[in-house]
Chains A and B, each alone.
Chain A
Amino acid sequence: MKPSPFNYYCPASVDEAVQLLSDLEDAKILAGGQSLIPLMNFRLAAPEHLIDISGLAELSEIKVDPDEVEIGASVTHSQVLQSEQIGSELPLLWEAEKLVAHEVIRNRGTLCGSLAHADPAGEMTAVLSVLRGKVQTASVSGGRTIQAMDLFEGPLQSSLRDDELIVSATFPTLGPNAVSSFREVARRHGDYAVAGAVSVVEYDDNSLVCSAQAAFLSVGPVPTLISLDDLLVGHRIEDVGYTEIYNFLSSQLDPHGDLQTSADYRRHLAAEMGWASLEACT
């Protein structure tokens, strides 16, 4: 469990980082290293060059506006949890971050690293999806904005080009009539979820649902976004009720089994979590 030899670079700016990324063959960005280093130790990944962006001041900013929260690429999960502003403007992000691993991992792991890693079991990928957030990138040929739905292509596969760096991620905040909730089940405290759901529900002035979205983690190759608009718009969640919502979600989900979990149980659990997170939005 020792990595293959690699060259380590510590650029002084984003410009320098993207230059290196473009010049070097087989280079990878190193952020918190909490996903990449284990892969390298198992020799499942053996990049020749690592470009460490964790010390870049340019990427360390958290910007909280009334409409959106923008988080720089070197911001760690712990720093997100330390930002009182995020806690008040986008409590969902806090709720989700608390479910990411353990404190020691959150102290190093970055939110943008989670997104770049594109793990369908990650909480951040699900939150970005349900909020329809986006990431900003940089490269020698210029930056672009990638919408959440275009970012995740498969398990550990994003639409980032090899020469591209995520600079920040942007999460829209919720309107005054919207409620959100995150529910998941992990076998052990802090583990990746066996299944989980994050729901965002908007209400009209009569307290009837006018939009209901849920994103599911650990149930497919990418975060699974399900709209419950057809089922819920114009109703109250509690009136539609557990059975109908559970059955609808079960019918929409097609997860896989693994060492701990049958596909059936995971579908059941995801639907339960979907229901629980929607119920918590009432």
Chain B
Amino acid sequence: MTPQNFGRAIRRTEDDRLVTGRGSFTDDAGSTGLSLTMIRSPYANARILSIDVSEALEVEGVQAVLTYSDLPGRLVEPLPLLIPHPSLVAPRTQYILANEHVRYVGQAIVAIFATDRYVGEDAAERVIIEYEPGEAVVGIDAALGPHLVHEDVPGNVAADHSEHVGDVDTALANASHVLELELNMERSMGSSLEGRASHATWDRHSRKLRIQNATQTPTSVRFAVANILEIPDEQVEVFAIDVGGGFGTKVIHPWPEDILTAWGAIEYDCPVKFTEDRVEHFISSSHERAQRHQIKVGFDEEGRILGLDVDFIHDNGAYTPYGMIAPLITATQLPGPYKLPNYRVRFRSVYTNTVQVTPYRGAARPHAVFSMERTIDRIAAFLEIDRAEVRRRNFIQPDEFPYDLGMIFQDGRPAIYDSGNYPELLEKVLSMIEWDDFPERRSQATPGRRRGIGVACYVEGTGLGPYEGGHVRVETGGKVQVSTGLASSGQGHHTVFAQIVADELGVPFEDVEVVTGDTRRFQYAVGTFASRAAVTSGNAVAEAARLVKEKAISIAADALEANPDDLEIVDAQVQVKGTTARGIPLAQVAVLANPLRYSFSEAARAATQFAGAGDLDEPPVKPGEDPGLEATGWYSPVRATFASGAHAVEVEVDAATSEVEILRYCVVHDCGRLINPMIVEGQIHGGVAQGIAGALYEKMAYDEDGNLQNASFMDFLMPYCTEIPEVEIDHLETLSPLNPLGIKGAGEAGVIPVSAAIAAAVEDAEGFQINHMPLFPSELHEMRAIGVDEPN
């Protein structure tokens, strides 16, 4: 195969539609039928004493008002625990509607089905709920205190997990130096432009429940809905046409509203829609990132790490639908690109009366990197060695792959780095930002400002299993239809999968049409998360394309009476290698692939029974063959593939306002072979923007009663594009040996080391330690007054 599309910065085919308002998001799916409105708890912890819905039922346009006690069948059960784990000792998931207790502000209590959302909210005002409020557990300190979030979960501990390699105690005892750090990270969230949404219609004629859902995993939503409603999978179709961002929140499923819209569509025999509004997204979807880390590191005179002991607390909010995946990722990704012969990690995942915590882009890696990189910077400061040099001395070397961390990754498999070149990443980023010349630039800082520089490196496990599949079909009109089961939420899958298939099959890029996330087209899939779509679905569609190519060549060989080994496909034509003279268009091969009784076009006549093709002693479709020029390919990786990168940032802090200005932001990124550099760079831009958000702007401001005080974009400071600097990007391409395309994931990388890099730069500018993120000017102002970042 000579790649013509793979590796090229082709413009995204989805953009024309999306930027001209012709996307098809779930809320666009029609407005007939009913709208679902939820009443949510105003208390973080309360018993529900009574609910009076009688007045709401009188509002014109209200179809039904449901509470827990009205739910039928399996809808009374708690929602599924998506990922169990042996260390997850006390998992808890929420009910579709609160069963006696509410455990966070925002928890759904009452479901109103009404003609539209306006009527629903009018009715909601007329429902009277009596509560008996209890003590709210908010924040890590409170979680470790006497009050319980779930009466039957002692100490609020959902999970308690430890892993180690080597002998940390001995290593620390023998180390020339030992330092201790306490690091804190705050909560934020993905804040997708489109919130959660589901639109369900029940076709009672064909007995199909059709669900358009803003999800990252349509196949799983389908199984969950069928299972809870106790109807055959076959009756449920789930598709995500366009999804306005997911960032992890939309991999969580089923949400209460997914089930209620589906159930309501059948019960009331009409379409039912739920479109989450922004306040609901803040208080009733998912958050991430609050962790407190205690770190002890032992190292030698050269700054080589001998032992690292990490103990951290993860605030998982009120429920654990995604198990303990987030803190587990912190634990296993914390070593990053460094050799840690002796590493021990323990975490406790604890309940609080706040919104549940599930992975958000980066998925607990920003904490891991913050811990490791802050630790390295601290070692450098202690030994007065250049921060880059300490990194060099601790790197896993390029000749040490595969490198076994000695731990179990989030896919339940050994964490073994497949490939990488960390020293080169660092050198590249250092030269990009002109690290060595920084002292000179420091002295040229804008008057009244202090300048600093920081660097941070990371490794990201991507592309994990269990599997994805892809289907490729060549139509008789020449179009190549590709489908894969995972959904797209802005990544550019339609473009990159087409690039892969075009090259593998030998057809023009423009002829390839991709559909993702539609169970009517592809029934088996896992989902879009963990930077896995390109690796898993990419390799699956490549495999499907190879199978189609094989089949096309074998059919064409018959038709051309040629040896299959002599044939190739170039520009959608099967031909004898090197000549265009003897060839047959792929579209025609597609005709021949499907023996016909009835012709439907001039071209199709060639496949009919009197056209004279084929061996009359053989059946038209030979044993072991299928009609149609199509194939399904699968890719199931043995384990994750590990991408990596290094970020460097130069900042100035204003002496008067304590505002941090980013002067330059440089990224060197290695995700193996690049399918489309422009798309990878777009992913990095978005990731870095979210990283800067988490470093300097965003946090969830809970009061002690568990009210989220900044549940709007007015007060939750998601940065605008005006706050994001230009991001300079360079790539390294260390191929992954684990998959035929040599690729690694790129979706989350941008966000991961940003907090670490910015903390390092601000620390460098200010001269006092930075131990927490995000960092607001107001705090920085106060820290300057006392000259230290007090653990809060």
Nearest 7 pairs between A and B by C-beta? A189-B722, A265-B778, A1-B277, A259-B701, A261-B778, A2-B118, A265-B781
Judge whether B720 is part of the interface by a CB distance below 8 angstroms. Answer: yes
Q: Contact string, B269-285, partner A, CB cutoff 8 A, digits 1/0?
A: 00000000111000000
Chain A positions within 8 Å of B125 at CB level: 4, 43
With a cutoff of 8 Å between Cβ atoms, the chain A residues found around residue B781 in the complex are 262, 264-265, 268
CA distance A3 to B620 in the complex (A): 66
Contact, CB under 8 Å: B720 / A5: no
**A260 with B118: CB separation less than 8 A:** no
Q: How far is the CB of B195 from chain A (nearest CB, A)?
A: 11
Q: Which residues of A sit under 8 angstroms from B709, Cβ to Cβ?
A: 259
A184 CB, min distance to chain B CBs, angstroms: 10
Contacts of B122 in A (CB 8 A): 4-5
CB of A185 closer than 8 Å to a CB of B:
yes
Per-residue 0/1 for B708-720: is the Cβ within 8 Å of any A Cβ (1 yes, 0 no)?
0110000101011
For the complex, is B726 an interface residue (Cβ under 8 Å from A)? Answer: no
**Residue among B117, B715, B720, B778 making CB contact with A2, cutoff 8 Å:** B117
Q: Give Cα distance in the complex from A42 to B280, angstroms.
A: 12
Contact yes or no, A262 B121, CB < 8 A: no
A185 to B121 alpha-carbon distance, docked (Å):
37
Tell me the complex Cα distance, A84–B782, Å: 43
- Give complex CA distance A266, B782 in Å: 11
In the complex, per-residue mask of B656-669: 1 if CB is within 8 Å of any chain A CB, else 0: 11110000000000
A188–B719 contact, CB under 8 A?
yes
> Could you pull out 25 A-B pairs where Cβ atoms are within 8 angstroms?
A1-B277, A1-B279, A2-B121, A5-B118, A5-B122, A42-B279, A43-B121, A43-B125, A187-B697, A187-B717, A187-B777, A188-B697, A188-B719, A190-B720, A190-B722, A191-B717, A261-B778, A262-B782, A264-B781, A265-B658, A265-B777, A265-B778, A265-B781, A269-B657, A272-B656
Q: Mark B771-785, 1 if CB is under 8 A from A, else 0.
A: 000001110011000
**Cα–Cα distance between A185 and B781 once the two chains are bound (Å):** 14
Most buried by B among A1, A5, A189, A259: A259
B434: interface (CB < 8 Å) = no
Within 8 A of A (CB), among B98-143: 117-118, 120-122, 125
Tell me if B723 is interfacial: C-beta within 8 Å of chain A. Answer: yes
Q: How far is the CB of B482 from chain A (nearest CB, A)?
A: 38
Report whether B657 and A272 are in contact in the complex, using a CB–CB cutoff of 8 Å: yes
Contact check, B720 vs A189: say whether CB atoms are below 8 A apart: yes
Q: Say whether B279 contacts A260, CB under 8 Å.
A: no
- Chain B residues near A2 (CB, 8 Å)? 117-118, 120-121
Contact partners of B277 in chain A: CB under 8 A: 1
Residues of A within 8 A of B121 (CB): 2, 4, 43
Question: Which B residues touch A188, using CB under 8 A?
Answer: 697, 717, 719-720, 722-723
Q: Are B782 and A265 in contact (CB under 8 A)?
A: yes
Q: Which residues of B contact A187 (CB under 8 A)?
A: 697, 717, 777
Q: Closest chain B residue to A261 by CB distance?
A: B778
Nearest A residue to B116, CB-CB: A2
Chain A contacts of B120 at CB under 8 A?
A: 2
- A139 to B657 CA separation, bound complex (whole angstroms): 45
Query: Among the listed B118, B278, B710, B777, which residue makes an inter-chain contact with A259, where contact means beta carbons less than 8 Å apart?
Result: B710
What separation, in Å, do the CA atoms of A36 and B172 have in the docked complex? 62
- Distance of A46 from chain B, by nearest CB (Å): 9
Contact of B717 among A4, A5, A260 (CB under 8 A): A260
**Could you mark each residue 1-35 of chain A with 1 if its beta carbon is under 8 Å from any beta carbon of chain B, else 0?**
11111000000000000000000000000000000
| Contact pick for A185, options B278, B657, B701, CB 8 Å | B657
Tell me the minimal C-beta distance from B60 to chain A in angstroms: 11
Known: A2-B121, A4-B122, A190-B722. A262 touches B778 (CB 8 A): yes
How close is B345's CB to chain A, nearest CB, in angstroms?
33
Query: How many Å from the CB of A73 to the closest CB on chain B?
Result: 25
Which residue on A lies nearest to B722, using beta carbons? A189
A contacts, CB < 8 Å to B: 1-5, 42-43, 185, 187-191, 259-262, 264-266, 268-269, 272, 276
Q: Which residue of B lies closest to A259 (CB)?
A: B701
Q: Which residues of A contact B117 (CB under 8 A)?
A: 2
Closest approach, in angstroms, between the C-beta of B277 and any C-beta of chain A?
Answer: 4
Residue of B whose beta carbon sits closest to that of A185: B657
Provide the residues of chain B in CB contact with A5, threshold 8 Å: 118, 122
Which residues of chain B are near A4, meaning CB under 8 Å? 121-122, 125
Q: Complex formed: what's the CA distance from A259 to B716 in Å?
A: 9
**Further pairs besides A43-B121, A188-B719, A259-B715: 8, Cβ < 8 Å:** A1-B277, A43-B125, A185-B657, A187-B717, A187-B777, A259-B709, A262-B782, A266-B778
Cα distance, A272 to B656, chains bound together (Å): 7
Cβ of B776: which chain A residues have Cβ within 8 Å of it? Answer: 260-261
**In the complex, chain B residues whose CB is within 8 Å of the CB of A276:** 656
- CB proximity of B639 to chain A, nearest CB, Å: 42
B722 contacts across to A, CB distance below 8 A? 188-190
Partner among A189, A260, A268 whose Cβ is within 8 Å of the Cβ of B723 = A189
Residues of B within 8 A of A1 (CB): 277-279
Which parts of B632-672 form the interface with A (CB within 8 Å)? Answer: 656-659
Of the listed residues B709, B778, B781, B782, the one surrounded by the most CB atoms of chain A closer than 10 A to its CB is B778
What's the nearest-Cβ distance from chain B to residue A189, in Å? 4
| Closest B residue by C-beta to A3 | B118
CB distance from B139 to the nearest CB of A (A): 15
Shortest distance from the beta carbon of B626 to any chain A beta carbon, whole Å: 52
Interface pair B778/A260, CB less than 8 Å apart: yes
Residues on B with beta carbons closer than 8 Å to the beta carbon of A42: 279
* B571 CB, nearest partner CB in chain A, Å: 47
Contact among A3, A260, A264, A272 with B782 in the assembled complex (CB-CB below 8 Å): A264
Q: How far is the CB of A33 from chain B (nearest CB, A)?
A: 16
Q: Which residue of A lies closest to B710 (CB)?
A: A259
A258: nearest chain-B partner, CB-CB: B715
CA distance A266 to B658 in the complex (A): 11
Instruction: Tell me which of B278, B656, B697, B715 has the highest count of chain A C-beta atoms within 10 A of its own C-beta.
Output: B656
User: What's the least CB distance linking A215 to chain B, in Å?
Assistant: 19
- For B685-719 the 0/1 string (1 means CB < 8 A from A) is 00000000000010001000000011000010101
- In the assembled complex, the CB of B199 is this many whole angstroms from the nearest CB of chain A, namely 18
Residues of chain B contacted by A43 (CB below 8 angstroms): 121, 125
Q: How far is the CB of A122 from chain B (nearest CB, A)?
A: 14
Bound state CA distance, A264 and B658, in angstroms?
13
In the docked arrangement, what's the CA distance between A57 and B537, Å? 60
Chain B residues with CB below 8 A from A185, complex form? 657, 659
- Chain B residues lying within 8 Å of A264, measured Cβ to Cβ, are 781-782
Q: Which of A1, A190, A265 has the most CB of B within 10 A?
A: A265
Q: How far apart are the CA atoms of A261 and B657 in the complex, in Å?
A: 12
How far, in whole Å, are A2 and B117 apart by their CA atoms in the complex?
Answer: 7
A110 to chain B, nearest CB (A): 20
A75 to chain B, nearest CB (A): 25
Closest to B780 in A: A265
Q: Look across to chain A and name the residue whose beta carbon is closest to the beta carbon of B278.
A: A1
Q: Which residue of A lies closest to B721 (CB)?
A: A189
Residue of A whose beta carbon sits closest to that of B717:
A187
Chain A residue with the shortest CB-CB distance to B121? A2
CB of A278, distance to nearest CB on chain B (Å): 14
Contacts of A189 in B (CB 8 A): 720, 722-723
**Once the chains are docked, how many angstroms separate the CA of A276 from the CA of B656?**
10
Bound-complex Cα distance A261 to B278 (A): 24
Please measure, in the bound complex, the distance between the C-alpha atom of A120 and the C-alpha atom of B171, giving whole angstroms: 59
Question: Closest Cβ of chain A: how far from B126's Cβ, in Å?
Answer: 11
Q: Which residues of the other chain, B, contact A3 by a CB distance below 8 angstroms?
A: 118
Task: Give complex CA distance A155, B715 in Å.
Answer: 17
Report the Cα distance A107→B48, complex, angstroms.
46
Inter-chain CA distance A36–B658, complex, in Å, is 33
Q: Which chain B residues lie closer than 8 Å to A260 at the CB level?
A: 715, 717, 776, 778
Q: Bound state CA distance, A99 and B121, in angstroms?
A: 35
CB distance from A198 to the nearest CB of B (A): 17
